[in-house]
Amino acid sequence: MERTRDDYTISTDPDRLDLDLIHGYLSHSYWAEGIPRELVARSIKNALAFGIYHGAEQVGFARVITDRATFGYLADVFVLESHRGRGLSRWLMEVIMDHPELQGLRRWMLATRDAHGLYAKFGFQAVAGSGNLMQILRVGLYG
């Protein structure tokens, strides 16, 4: 899957992912500080990964851990600081939520310390008493 807007592309092609860039960012993030490169590689291999590219250069990332039927956990979302302020996070979320393999999921979850406003625009709500957990729960979806 690939979508293009202006000079940017979002792709789920695993061969385009820049593991060094992703590891470099995540290993300095508040949620995965110090994570080993091998663990990042394994986490990507076992998820549906989305890269944001400006030309050939990767500038953002997200992955969804999912069974592609009932559940999705959104993780490791980032846009490099030099490319922020262009609506890329919102566009990335639109592409993720529209992905054909992620339609009809009963529950979506994520954890965030500082992006509640972004995720709320896509239907995520805070999980009571959890602080940073958010979810979309579609009760009665199956009947």
Other beta carbons within 10 angstroms of residue 70's beta carbon come to: 13
The domain tally of the chain equals: 1
pLDDT-based confidence at residue 143 (cuts at 50, 70, 90): low
Q: Tell me what pLDDT residue 141 has.
A: 74
Nearest of 106, 97, 110 to residue 138 by alpha carbon: 106
SS (H, E, C) 48-100: EEEEEEECCEEEEEEEEEECCCCEEEEEEEEECHHHCCCCHHHHHHHHHHHCH
Residue 140: pLDDT above 90? Answer: no
Q: What is the CATH number of the domain that holds 66?
A: 3.40.630.30
> Considering the entire predicted model, what is its pTM?
0.94
Q: Assess if residue 108 is contained within a domain.
A: no
Cα separation, 45 vs 117, in Å, equals: 29
Q: Assess if residue 109 is contained within a domain.
A: no
Residue 118: pLDDT above 90? Answer: yes
Q: Assess if residue 64 is contained within a domain.
A: yes
Q: Assess if residue 74 is contained within a domain.
A: yes
Residue-range definition of the domain harbouring residue 37? 2-103
Q: Assess if residue 114 is contained within a domain.
A: no
Question: For residue 31, what are its two tokens?
Answer: 């949620």
CA angle 43, 45, 49 (to 5 degrees): 85
pLDDT tens sequence across 61-94:
999 999 999 999 999 999 999 999 999 999 999 9
pLDDT tens sequence across 34-62:
999 999 999 999 999 999 999 999 999 99
**SS3 for 9?**
strand
